[in-house]
């Protein structure tokens, strides 16, 4: 039974006590620094929070402008929270959570910091955003296809190269819809003649072809036509539909198509504009973009409107804190040093014992009853087990050498006398040599099976097997040997019991048990193979009427090279490897092997394996 350690002697308690002292020291030592720096840190944090809030709102508005819903915003919220150090929460108008960087069920701040709606924005300060209250990143159906974007990129690059040849520096920039435009780096711009020559103003280039940068693509034309249809009802309601053909202005600079576009009507051959028409266009754009942007959401930041208190401290109080912190630090260091020395001393003794040569099997002294003492006891137990294993290893090596030496000696001796012409190689001699070779092969096969089991490479190929078939096949394979020994071999089977097992390996296990039983059963004795079902377990038994096994020997029957009678040879007592192989084969099938016996009443070996259902094609 594991000894109970008093609370005061437990290593955990002592470590906790030491940690508390260190914590007190740390708190006292850092209190002064924390108080004196809190005010300036809070003031600096307020400025940083304002910049972070604008960044958060801009990022989330951009996400809403580029996604039809909020389903994937959680990753963006977590990244923003990690970068800014703020708590970020998005909810619907009725406070249904969408995404939150805080833990589940954390209360929301008392009121939202802003509304995230790319179609009604008045807080985003990027160029063009406040002209119509629509985030310029909300392009919806105006987003160019990949082919259109590549085609326009080629035209824009040619114009940039044209400006370069004229000595004007220019760059190609892209708007959110993917449309490129050429921007002259010189603040004064390019002369009109150069811009005409490079085809950046008029619809005709110097090569006589239409400049694609000045005209909508098929995708944009389709979107503009749909926008015109959406705008017409509003104009009619405002009595502005004058019956002429309707068109939309297009921002030929390419900076922001339709961000400030408005509807115009023809009357008397003149183009006229009106702010009411612009409002109709803006309303129609919101309707057109609504399926392409995420719905409006409420943004909650931080923990509300709490104001950080300002701390101050007098020189006298500062001196007191410094003095107390120094005293606590000194006491903590002293106590920690004493406790550490007491904890390390038995560990050093344990280390010294572990560093001794392994063949000495040195034990560690046990002086305490705490965790360190239990560790020393466990180390001593491990040393004892290692010593026993070493003895078993030496005995096993000796047994293997003995088992292999005998047949090899016989084979070598007969081959030498045959070579010297002292004995003729008649069939009887060859049969004897063949038998010795078979014994060697059997021992090597057994050792190979045990090595595979130890290495975890023993493989079984399971399939549905009728247990009665295994019993009958094993009995048939050993009936000749049983008859030769004068032993009656009986079977007791149940044809309804099935196993999910490897039939070859199971016949090997049963064969080892049956051959052992026949070998240890005197003439006129009986060996019985039986199978029965016990709930979800199939029980296979091999029972003999031999001399039985002594109670002291029962725990060792499955050990390697063990024999109940040490004087028995490998011919009468086997190699001592059959039963260990049986145990490993049963373990590979998730089963167990056991034995029970009384001296003079024979022995019964039991194999217990999980039962399986009969295959569907078996009646």
pLDDT above 70 for 82: yes
**Pairing, β 114-116 against β 297-301:** antiparallel
pLDDT above 60 for 92: yes
pLDDT above 90 for 326: no
Distance CA 183, CA 169 (A): 9
pLDDT of residue 544: 92
Q: What is the pLDDT of residues 123-167, one digit of tens each?
A: 444 433 444 578 888 888 988 998 988 888 888 888 888 888 877
> What is the average pLDDT across 183-211?
55
SS3 of the chain: helix, strand, coil, percent, to 5: 50, 15, 35
pLDDT above 80 for 427: yes
Q: How far is residue 554 CA from its own chain's centroid?
A: 46
Q: Which of 361-375, 534-548, 605-619 has the highest mean pLDDT?
A: 534-548
> What is the average pLDDT across 214-227?
83
pLDDT of residue 439: 66
Distance CA 244, CA 56 (A): 46
> What is the average pLDDT across 550-572?
62
Take residue 138 and report the two structure tokens written for it. 């909300």
Distance CA 606, CA 596 (A): 8
Tell me, yes or no, if the pTM score tops 0.85.
no
pLDDT band at 528 (very low <50, low <70, confident <90, very high): very high
Distance CA 441, CA 433 (A): 12
pLDDT band at 295 (very low <50, low <70, confident <90, very high): very high
Q: Look over the chain and give the mean of its residue pLDDT values, rounded to a whole number.
A: 75
**Which of the two residues, 378 and 1, has the higher pLDDT score?**
378
pLDDT band at 205 (very low <50, low <70, confident <90, very high): very low
Residues 6+ apart with CB under 8 A from 596: 554, 603, 604, 606
Extended beta strands in 331-410, E state: none
Instruction: Write b or e for each residue in 150-179: b if 16 or more Cβ atoms lie within 10 A of its Cβ, otherwise e.
Output: eebeebbebbbebbeeeebebeeeebbbbb
Take residue 503 and report the two structure tokens written for it. 């039939």
> What is the average pLDDT across 348-370?
76
pLDDT of residue 496: 85
Residues 169/138, Cβ–Cβ less than 8 Å = no
Q: Which of 79-88, 284-293, 387-396, 534-543 has the lowest mean pLDDT?
A: 387-396
**Which of the two residues, 525 and 269, has the higher pLDDT score?**
525
pLDDT band at 605 (very low <50, low <70, confident <90, very high): very high
Q: What is the pLDDT of residues 54-75, one digit of tens each?
A: 788 888 888 888 899 998 889 9
Nearest to 247 by CA among 217, 225, 277: 225
Q: Any idea which residue has 């292999």 for tokens?
A: 404
pLDDT of residue 180: 87
Q: What is the pLDDT of residues 11-53, one digit of tens each?
A: 656 766 776 777 666 766 666 665 655 555 555 555 566 667 7
Take residue 562 and report the two structure tokens written for it. 């063990």
Question: Which run of H or of E encompasses 213?
Answer: none
pLDDT of residue 525: 92
């Amino acid at each position: 039974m594991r000894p109970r350690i008093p609370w005061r002697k437990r290593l955990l308690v002592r470590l906790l006590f030491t940690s508390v002292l260190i914590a007190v020291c740390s708190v006292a030592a850092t209190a002064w620094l924390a108080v004196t720096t809190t005010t300036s840190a809070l003031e600096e944090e307020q400025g940083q929070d304002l910049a972070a809030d604008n960044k958060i709102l801009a990022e989330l508005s951009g996400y809403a402008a580029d996604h039809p819903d909020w389903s994937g915003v959680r990753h963006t919220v977590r990244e923003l929270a990690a970068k800014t150090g703020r708590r970020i929460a998005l909810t619907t108008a009725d406070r249904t959570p969408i995404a939150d960087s805080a833990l589940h069920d954390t209360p929301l701040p008392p009121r939202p910091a802003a509304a995230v709606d790319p179609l009604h924005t008045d807080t985003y300060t990027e160029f063009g955003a406040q002209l119509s209250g629509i985030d310029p990143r909300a392009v919806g159906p105006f987003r160019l296809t990949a082919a259109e974007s590549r085609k326009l990129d080629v035209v824009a690059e040619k114009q940039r190269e044209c400006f370069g040849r004229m000595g004007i520096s220019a760059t190609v920039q892209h708007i959110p819809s993917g449309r490129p435009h050429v921007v002259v780096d010189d603040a004064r711009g390019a002369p009109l003649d150069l811009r005409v020559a490079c085809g950046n103003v008029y619809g005709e280039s110097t090569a006589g072809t239409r400049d694609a940068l000045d005209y909508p693509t098929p995708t944009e034309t389709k979107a503009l036509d749909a926008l015109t249809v959406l705008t017409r009802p509003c104009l009619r309601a405002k009595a502005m539909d004058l019956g002429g053909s309707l068109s939309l202005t297009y921002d030929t600079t390419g900076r922001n198509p339709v961000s400030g576009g408005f509807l115009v009507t023809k009357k008397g051959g003149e183009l006229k504009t009106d702010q009411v028409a612009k409002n109709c266009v803006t309303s129609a754009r919101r309707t057109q973009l609504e399926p392409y942007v995420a719905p409006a959401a409420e943004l909650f930041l931080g923990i509300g409107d709490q104001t950080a208190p300002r701390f101050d401290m007098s020189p006298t109080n500062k001196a007191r804190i410094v003095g107390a912190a120094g005293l606590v630090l000194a006491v903590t260091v002293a106590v920690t040093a004493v406790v550490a020395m007491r904890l390390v001393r038995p560990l050093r003794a344990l280390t010294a014992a572990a560093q001794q040569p392994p063949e000495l099997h040195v034990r560690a002294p046990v002086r305490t009853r705490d965790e360190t003492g239990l560790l020393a006891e466990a180390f001593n137990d491990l040393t004892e087990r290692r010593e026993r294993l070493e003895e078993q290893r030496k005995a096993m090596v000796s047994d293997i050498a003995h088992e292999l030496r005998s047949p090899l000696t016989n084979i070598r001796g007969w081959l030498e006398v045959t070579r010297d012409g002292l004995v003729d190689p008649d069939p009887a001699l060859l049969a004897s040599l063949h038998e010795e070779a078979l014994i060697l092969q059997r021992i090597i096969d057994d050792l190979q099976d045990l090595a595979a089991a130890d290495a975890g490479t023993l493989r079984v190929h399971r399939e549905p097997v009728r247990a009665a078939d295994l019993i009958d096949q094993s009995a048939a394979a050993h009936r000749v040997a049983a008859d030769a020994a004068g032993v009656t071999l009986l079977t007791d089977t149940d044809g309804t019991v099935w196993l999910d097992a490897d039939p070859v390996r199971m016949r090997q296990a049963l064969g080892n048990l049956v051959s052992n039983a026949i070998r240890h059963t005197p003439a006129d004795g009986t060996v019985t193979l039986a199978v029965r079902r016990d709930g979800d377990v199939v029980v296979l038994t091999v029972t003999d009427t031999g001399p039985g096994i002594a109670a002291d020997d029962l725990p060792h029957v499955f050990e390697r090279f063990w024999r109940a009678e040490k004087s028995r040879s490998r011919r009468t007592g086997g190699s001592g490897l059959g039963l260990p192989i049986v145990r490993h084969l049963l373990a590979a099938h998730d089963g167990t092997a056991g034995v029970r016996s009384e001296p003079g009443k024979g022995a019964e070996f039991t194999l217990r394996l999980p039962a399986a259902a009969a295959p569907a094609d078996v009646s």
